[in-house]
Structure 1
Amino acid sequence: MAPKEVVEAYYRDMFEPIGIKPHLHPECKVYWNNSAGFKELTADGLISMIAHLKARFLTSRLELTHIIAEGQQVAVRYAHNITAPDTLEEITFAYSMAIWEIQDDKMYRGYIVSHLE
Structure 2
Amino acid sequence: MTKKELLRDFYISDGIRNVNALNEILHDNVILHWDSSEGTLILEKEEILNLAKELNQNYAKSVIDITHIIAEGELVTLRYNHKVAAIENPTEFMHIAKMIIIWEFKGDKLIKGYQISQPA
TM-score (norm 1): 0.89
Aligned residue for 1:113?
Answer: 116
Q: How does 1:1-117 map to 2 (within 5 A)?
A: 1-11=1-11, 12=13, 13-16=15-18, 18-88=20-90, 89-117=92-120
Give the secondary structure class of the aligned counterpart of 1:79.
strand
> Which amino acid is the alignment partner of residue 61 of structure 1?
V
2:19–2:52 Cα contact (<8 Å) kept: no
Report % sequence identity: 29
Between Structure 1 and Structure 2, the one with more helix by share is 2
Using the TM superposition, give the Cα deviation of residue 92 of structure 1 relative to its aligned residue in structure 2, in angstroms.
0.6
2:69–2:78 Cα contact (<8 Å) kept: yes
Give the secondary structure class of the aligned counterpart of 2:41.
strand
Using the TM superposition, give the Cα deviation of residue 73 of structure 1 relative to its aligned residue in structure 2, in angstroms.
0.6
The alignment of Structure 1 onto Structure 2 pairs a total of residues equal to: 117
Counterpart-to-counterpart distance in 2, 1:69 and 1:32: 20
> Which amino acid is the alignment partner of residue 38 of structure 2?
A
RMSD: 1.7
1:6–1:105 Cα contact (<8 Å) kept: no
1:4-33 Cα offsets, whole Å, 9 max, x none, are: 133224323233474311000111100000
2:79–2:99 Cα contact (<8 Å) kept: yes
Q: 1:17 to 1:27 in 2, by over 3 A?
A: closer
TM-score (norm 2): 0.87
2:19–2:49 Cα contact (<8 Å) kept: no
Using the TM superposition, give the Cα deviation of residue 2 of structure 1 relative to its aligned residue in structure 2, in angstroms.
2.5
Q: 1:38 to 1:62 in 2, by over 3 A?
A: same
